[in-house]
Structure 1
Amino acid sequence: MGEGMKAGAGNGAYYIVAALVGTVVGVLGSAFHAGVNGLGAAWPAYLQGTLRLEGPALYAAAAVVAAIMTLVSLWLVRRFAPEASGSGVPEIEGAMEGLREVRWHLVLPVKFVGGLLSLSSGLVLGREGPTIHIGASVAKAASDLMKWSSEDMRGLLAAGGAAGLAAAFNAPLAAVLFVIEETRRQFPYSSRTYIAVVLASIASAVVTEYLTGDTPYMLLEVSTMPYGLLPAFIGLGVLLGVVGVAFNRTLVWSLDRVRALGLRHSFYIFPAIVGLMIGVLVLVLPEATQGGELLAVELTREGRPLAILAVIVLLRFVMTMASYSTGVAGGIFAPILALATTIGLCYGSALATVLPLPEQAQTAFAITAMGGLFAATIGAPLVGMVLVLELTGAYAVLVPVMLTAIFANMTSQWLGGRPIYEILLERTLAIEAEGRASHAPR
């Protein structure tokens, strides 16, 4: 193809394919979301309603069901597509850098079915990682079909991943910014690839809104906060910067400990234990299970006591580490947002014991905390700001959100924190290099 064709008709074909990729991802993402919600509610209802189980029999049955779903999800990943483990975002970043391969014909079904099982079981995982990975897999399939060059393929991978994030949270602007800020080292930036990302995100968002509605997914009403309260949001940002560094380091530590256990014994022992625990918690303490986006909204509106919120923070932190360390398909965006919301509510409740706070201040702290912890863990403060505003519709607290996010990111960097996806990609590459070295002939 000549240069003129690349600049003219080539661009047109590229944009059309990007929009089609976004459309397909919007359908798949909406189906994935509906499937997780439906199956996650169906199996507990079946045990309690249809089978009419009660007491120990109910808890035992729930534990077994959740454990089976977890183990089947892990088996699919380990048997067919090990790269479908976890979030999938590090895999896409690695593929855009030429370090990983997107085997879309395996990742697509494994990520969809495996993610459906793991998230529906009650594990504290998010659907945004799987949808981003699914979106990039659809883009890779389209690129292979069109026989495009490596640079065009990488640009389309970014477009598919952005479409996946747009479908997960109905947040197209945050999806575009995620590519620009999070994958800034890997994204082959040009007007051609940038437009493709925007078109894919818009197409995905339009389809998602058509299928699921256009109301912000975590709609929260809040009024403008007085300027005198801004230092409190800075303090919250500093706190979340510390928490973000602790979150990332604990997550990697947990992954390493569970992998060592798997190498010594079996990779299925720990996931089975976690699945059994989750099954019981789904019935006894649902606040400690699932992604937590809707939980974040409920907690913000209910006004629970400080002690209860502190317990929820601790439980969700522990269960997030345990759930992600199982190795099943599932992301960490949603757990981070739910954990941050609870921390923000704790912070506001504690502050209210010593200072008079304006009305809806608790809600404002909860909202801004989402952006702060996202900025500290993911390392993308601008994405955190925009994502939170698109998710909640709380544009009245734009300045507090910006302050919290940027100070959380600054604190994280000051403490030596690094973006979690960057760390996870390096860990994956190191493990694979170690495996190749151990099998190399001496």
Structure 2
Amino acid sequence: MPILMAVTVGVGAGAGLAGMCLGLLLHYIQHVAYDYSMHRLLSTQSFMQGVTASTPQRRVEVLLGCGVVAGLGWWALYRFAKPLVSVNKVLKSDDPRTPMVATMINALLQIITVGLGSPLGREGAPREAGAALAGWLSHRIGLSSQESRIMVACGAGAGLAAVYNVPLSGTLFTLEVLLGTFATAAAIPALLTSVIAATVAWIGLGNDAQYTVPMFQLSDSLLAWAIVIGPIFGFAAYGFSRLVDAARRQAPRDWRLLPSCLLAFGLIGLAAVFYPQLLGNGKGPIQLGFNDGVSLQLAAILLVLKLLAMLLCLRAGAGGGLLTPGMSLGAMLAIVAGGLWNHAFGDAPLGAYAIVGAAAFLAASMRMPLTAIVMAVELTRVDHDYLFPVVFAVAGSSAALRICVRRFDTTHEPSMVVHKE
């Protein structure tokens, strides 16, 4: 027991340091690439503000550079390093370890490309790094296979907790998504590692909420909308996961990576000339949506462009997470649906719809209803009353996803970022 406790503390601290370093590296690359807030890594100026203030020519040039880094980087990784192994596959193995060097290079490539403007997410990198460190430490200490699997899952959840400052969400992600159990033997280390990782990451990333939201008043109209719209988000998330799987299956892993990445990121750079909100993992549009800063027309445009950009990158062979990008799709879809609802039934703020829609889409697309509910609260720190529309919408989207899987899938399981990174 003392040895297992020591490993738990070590995994939490290691995942926290990894998440902190990767987060700071991301900010540094963003600031250098788009030349904003150069005097400090954590500033009041957001990435979206920096990108919007940059020239259209700079956006195109940076995205072309991103294509070169992505194409050459992942080609070299597949050509010379050990094969990458996803966290989910490792958890089913008798030797739950990921290749350390290859995993860390893959994590760095994800952070660098997201920092340069890739529309994919950053959360995959700290998750993979935390899992790799946990596997290495568990092996060195000599834990059993079962104990090592728990530690690897805890390392992945702790990495998520560190980069987003969401310790409870990291805990639930470990238990609900990776391990599929809430047994005490898994729950205690999952909670400890996530709390330790988030606390350690405060050293460099601070203890701030990821999103700031105004005070919203809960209304009957919003509650009714959440009940009605939940299943629609589940169907949309199912379709999204199928598109993601298809794009990843067709992605090249040879010399074609460079031209395909150059083409994909070049097109995204051209689109960013007119819509700079397209660049990055989607945090900027989400924040705008939460603050009623996105019109129905802009939300519809960003919804389509963001989806196409993500699929282009995945089809080209680039790597990255889909947690925040998925939330951005949910938020934009909710603004469109909520605006139409307001015309007929209510007058709730569009930002309120965005919060509920982001949680509902996230829950279904990543098949983690409990984690999505808690994450919506931890990321925004909204009022307790918002749990009601969020829970109704998440329940509806998760139920709709389950119907889709049973009706249309016999061997396929929607993967999203969790199963096939």
Provide the residue aligned with 2:289 in structure 1. 299
SS at match of 1:420: coil
Matches within 5 A, 1:347-386: 347-358=337-348, 361-386=349-374
Deviation (angstroms), 1:226: 2.3
CA distance 1:80–1:333, shift in 2 (3 Å): farther
- Aligned equivalents of 2:103, 2:188: Cα separation in 1: 25
Letter in 2 for 1:377: S
Is 1:345 aligned with 2:335?
yes
Superposition TM-score, scaled by structure 2 size = 0.86
Provide the residue aligned with 2:145 in structure 1. 150
Is 1:38 aligned with 2:28?
yes
Superposition TM-score, scaled by structure 1 size = 0.82
- Aligned equivalents of 1:295, 1:422: Cα separation in 2: 21
Letter in 1 for 2:359: G
Letter in 1 for 2:135: K
Q: Which moved more, 1:247-256 or 1:199-208?
A: 247-256
Is 1:318 aligned with 2:308?
yes
1:366-407: CA deviations, max 9, x gaps?
A: 111111111111111111111111001113301111011110
- The share of aligned pairs that are identical, in percent, is 20
Letter in 2 for 1:207: V
SS at match of 2:146: helix
Task: Please report the RMSD computed on the Cα atoms of aligned residues, expressed in angstroms.
Answer: 2.7
SS at match of 1:408: helix
CA distance 1:230–1:138, shift in 2 (3 Å): same
- Aligned equivalents of 1:63, 1:225: Cα separation in 2: 41
Provide the residue aligned with 2:409 in structure 1. none
Match among 229, 247, 258 for residue 251 of structure 2: 258
Deviation (angstroms), 1:181: 1.2
CA contact (8 A) 2:107 2:124 kept: no
Matches within 5 A, 1:52-63: 58=58, 61-63=61-63
The runs of 5 or more residues in structure 1 that have no matched partner are: 1-10, 429-442
Provide the residue aligned with 1:438 in structure 2. none
CA contact (8 A) 2:150 2:179 kept: no
The runs of 5 or more residues in structure 2 that have no matched partner are: 37-49, 407-411
CA distance 1:423–1:61, shift in 2 (3 Å): closer
Provide the residue aligned with 2:172 in structure 1. 177
CA distance 1:82–1:343, shift in 2 (3 Å): farther
CA distance 1:381–1:54, shift in 2 (3 Å): closer
Match among 380, 390, 395 for residue 378 of structure 2: 390
Letter in 1 for 2:64: V
- Aligned equivalents of 2:397, 2:332: Cα separation in 1: 16
Letter in 2 for 1:322: L
Is 1:421 aligned with 2:415?
yes
Match among 392, 398, 401 for residue 403 of structure 1: 392
Letter in 1 for 2:157: A
- Aligned equivalents of 1:41, 1:196: Cα separation in 2: 36
Provide the residue aligned with 1:329 in structure 2. 319
Match among 101, 104, 107 for residue 106 of structure 1: 101
SS at match of 2:35: helix
Name the larger-Rg structure. Answer: 1
Matches within 5 A, 1:203-242: 203-242=196-235
- Aligned equivalents of 1:63, 1:230: Cα separation in 2: 41
CA contact (8 A) 2:245 2:416 kept: no
Match among 173, 186, 194 for residue 193 of structure 1: 186
- Aligned equivalents of 1:379, 1:55: Cα separation in 2: 38
Deviation (angstroms), 1:325: 2.9
Provide the residue aligned with 2:115 in structure 1. 120
1:246-288: CA deviations, max 9, x gaps?
A: 10111122223434xx67x823332221122233445542212
